[in-house]
Amino acid sequence: MDAGTGVGSTKALRGVLVPLALAQFICSFAGSNMNVMINDISRDLNTSVQGVQVAITLFLLVMAALMIPGGKLTDRYGRKRCFLAGLVIYGVGAVLSAVSPGLGILILGNSILEGVGTALLIPPVYILTTLLFRDLPSRARAFGIISALGGIGAAAGPLLGGLITSAISWRAAFGFQALVIVVIVLLGLRIQDPVAADPDRPFDIGGAVLSALGLVLLVLGILATDNSLPLALALVVCGGLVLVWFVLSTRTKERAGREALVSLSVFRNRMSNLGMVTQNAQWLLLSGVSFVVSAYLQVVRGYDAIETGVIFSATTLGLMGSSLAAERLARRLPQRNLILAGFVITIAGVLLLLFLVPDRVSPWSFVPGLLLIGLGLGTMLTPSVNVVQSSFGEQQQGEISGVSRSVSNLGSSLGTAIAGTILVAGLTATPERSYALAIAVLAVIGGAGLVAALAMPRQAAEPLEPQPS
């Protein structure tokens, strides 16, 4: 089945795109909707803001740590099978989270099971899109829809989560996720895997353990900064050493002719490497801003879930507007230019949050910055994904999809961990100062993403020209 070969095949591909895009939407929604439930969950489960932060960060971290192994498993068990299995595990986690009596069960359901499910189902989304949409324009359009729904899910999470929490309860938000999962499973049954599974394909268990352990230790080290600096440094150092061990082990396996978890050749493509840096920065900014502003609004300003969600609708509107224009922009402008413009707009929004908000009581002072952040992210999410995925052939789509999604989700977990930890550290004693410091750090990270975009090769990111059917 090939895009553009006929009306029937085009309609069939569009039908396949629906469950794939919805899957990215609900996973991104899950990563941000809890931000507006901080006070509600804290009261109901008798925990603290830091406890909720840990649950959110662990969900994002489990995704990041297992995304590379999840991408690799698609070769062995098939993309459709992994997609459906991930949805089922995610759905079970959502139901368990909805009925959780305490923080421990919430972490098991939301952070662990939903995280594992996401790590299984997201790589097939991007692999299937790359394999089914073969020409660049149709692939860019498909990635645009998926990336847009992912960004909208993350940006709309606070609004939808706030509406559901205020109208019913925070538990109903997890019930909503479970219902959407059921719909995706039913739609996903008609997906046809374009490449047969290879049950004899080796799987690098040792590499999977080392890569996951290294990432977990790094993020846990950041989370521990508020409680014990020596422990935090020890965890970060140990995480770095484990990742070095993973790289050395991978090199040894490749030299011996054995298949490693991920080939180091994936990291020799300059365009792809820089694209993944921009992806990491984009999701770090989105999740960091979402958590910091949400926690500040609820704990310091005393806003409830729906009020917080309404304020965040500015980000959703901005992201939707720029995402809708993404395809036309991709045809007219080099993808590198779109990523550059996205970072400039996003950084401007972050700076507005830094300079406009602290001195103003009105909640509307948040709107200009959040709107610009949505516009900027919507402008660059799709080009970043496309330059990474399109840098490799079909044989490496399983690897690069897992690595790319891992990098993006690591950015999300780092955003909540870094900015959230800075905010929580002084939330009760010096909230204005902690807020300003957290936002300032996010602005610096945005600058690093802009530098990576500037370093991208010009000739490798030209506009996507339509190809004849």
Q: Per residue in 14-38, pLDDT tens? A: 778 889 999 989 988 887 788 788 8
Three-class SS state of 441: helix
Of the segments 135-139, 202-206, 240-244, 462-466, which one has the largest average pLDDT value?
240-244
Alpha-carbon span 256 to 387, nearest angstrom: 31
Average of per-residue pLDDT across 410-431: 80
Alpha-carbon span 29 to 162, nearest angstrom: 12
> Around Cβ 190, how many Cβ atoms within 10 Å?
12
Residues in the chain: 469
Three-class SS state of 259: coil
Between 1 and 95, name the one with better pLDDT: 95
Three-class SS state of 252: helix
Res. 242: pLDDT tops 70: yes
| Percentage of the chain exceeding pLDDT 70 | 89
Alpha-carbon span 417 to 414, nearest angstrom: 5
Average of per-residue pLDDT across 145-172: 83
The pLDDT confidence band at residue 459, using thresholds 50, 70 and 90, is low
Three-class SS state of 455: coil
Question: Do 401 and 131 form a contact (C-beta atoms < 8 A)?
Answer: no
pLDDT at 397: 62
The pLDDT confidence band at residue 12, using thresholds 50, 70 and 90, is low
> Around Cβ 175, how many Cβ atoms within 10 Å?
17
Res. 464: pLDDT tops 50: no
The pLDDT confidence band at residue 13, using thresholds 50, 70 and 90, is low
Alpha-carbon span 45 to 101, nearest angstrom: 7
DSSP assignments along 360-390, one per residue: ---GGGGHHHHHHHHHHHHHHHHHHHHHHHT
Q: Is domain 7-203+261-454 given the CATH code 1.20.1250.20 in the classification?
A: yes
Sign of CA dihedral 114, 58, 40, 104: positive
Alpha-carbon span 181 to 85, nearest angstrom: 11
Alpha-carbon span 334 to 140, nearest angstrom: 13
Domains of the chain, by residue range, sit at: 7-203+261-454
